[in-house]
Structure 1
Amino acid sequence: MNDRDRRESGHLMLISPERVFYAGLLGRPRKRSSGGFNIYAAIRGSLKITEDKSEAVGEVALVPPYLPHSVESEHPSIICLVIEPETVEPLAMDQLSARISGPGAPDIAQRIRQAYDSLRLQQRRGGFTTGQFDQLFFGEALPDRNIDQRIRRSAARLNDFSDFSGGKMTATDCAASVSLSPSRFLHLFKEQTGVSFRAFRAWKRARHLLHFVNEDINLAHLAQDIGYPDSTHFSHSIRRFYGLQPRAIFSGSRDLAIYRSDSGVLDSAGFRQGRP
Structure 2
Amino acid sequence: MTRMATEPLPDSCCDDERPTVWLWSGHAAYRGPSLRLGTHSGSVTCFALGLDAPFVLRSGRESRSVRSALIPARTPHQIVAAEGDRMLFFYVDPGASRTAPLLDRMTDRADAIAYRHREEAALITEWSQGPVTDPEMLRRRLLDAGEPEAADERIRVALQLLRDRPGEWGSAAELAASVNLSQSRFLHLFSAYAGTSFRRYRLWAKMRRAATAVAQGADLSTAASDAGFASPSHFSDTFRAMFGLTATEMLAHGLDIVVMDP
Aligned residue for 1:176, secondary structure, equals helix
Aligned residue for 1:179, secondary structure, equals coil
Report the equivalent of 1:268: none
What pairs up with 1:70-109 in 2 under 5 angstroms?
70-76=78-84, 77-89=86-98, 91-98=100-107, 101-102=115-116, 105=118, 107-109=119-121
Deviations 1:94-143 (A, max 9, x none): 323336735x65x424325414647x253x6xx95xxx5443x3383446
Number of residue pairs aligned between Structure 1 and Structure 2: 246
Q: Which amino acid aligns with 1:92?
A: P
Q: What's the TM-score once normalised by structure 2's chain length?
A: 0.78
What pairs up with 1:201-240 in 2 under 5 angstroms?
201-212=202-213, 217-240=218-241
Q: What's the TM-score once normalised by structure 1's chain length?
A: 0.74
Report the equivalent of 1:260: 260
* C-alpha distance in 2 between matches for 1:89 and 1:223: 28
Aligned residue for 1:14, secondary structure, equals strand
What pairs up with 1:113-128 in 2 under 5 angstroms?
113-115=125-127, 117=129, 120=131, 122=133, 128=136
Deviations 1:24-61 (A, max 9, x none): 23321211111222111122122111111111112222
Report the equivalent of 1:269: none
Report the equivalent of 1:270: none
Q: CA deviation at 1:78?
A: 1.6
Report the equivalent of 1:138: 142
Conserved in 2, the CA contact under 8 Å of 1:44 and 1:75?
no
- CA distance change for structure 1 residues 31 and 45 in 2, over 3 Å: closer, same or farther? same
Higher strand share: 2
Q: Does 1:57 align with 2:65?
A: yes
What pairs up with 1:187-198 in 2 under 5 angstroms?
187-198=188-199
Mean Cα deviation higher: 53-62 or 196-205: 196-205
* C-alpha distance in 2 between matches for 1:114 and 1:198: 35
- CA distance change for structure 1 residues 195 and 43 in 2, over 3 Å: closer, same or farther? closer
- Show structure 2 runs of 5+ residues with no match: 10-14, 109-113
Report the equivalent of 1:19: 27
Q: CA deviation at 1:214?
A: 5.5
Report the equivalent of 2:167: 167
Conserved in 1, the CA contact under 8 Å of 2:51 and 2:127?
no
**Identity across matched positions, percent:** 22
* C-alpha distance in 1 between matches for 2:257 and 2:204: 23
Q: Does 1:42 align with 2:56?
A: no
Report the equivalent of 2:17: 9
Q: CA deviation at 1:80?
A: 0.9
Q: CA deviation at 1:258?
A: 1.2
* C-alpha distance in 2 between matches for 1:156 and 1:220: 25
Higher helix share: 1
Q: Which amino acid aligns with 1:153?
A: V
Aligned residue for 1:9, secondary structure, equals coil
Q: Which amino acid aligns with 1:205?
A: K
Deviations 1:180-220 (A, max 9, x none): 34444334323433433222212322343333556764322
Report the equivalent of 2:181: 180
Q: Which amino acid aligns with 1:108?
A: E
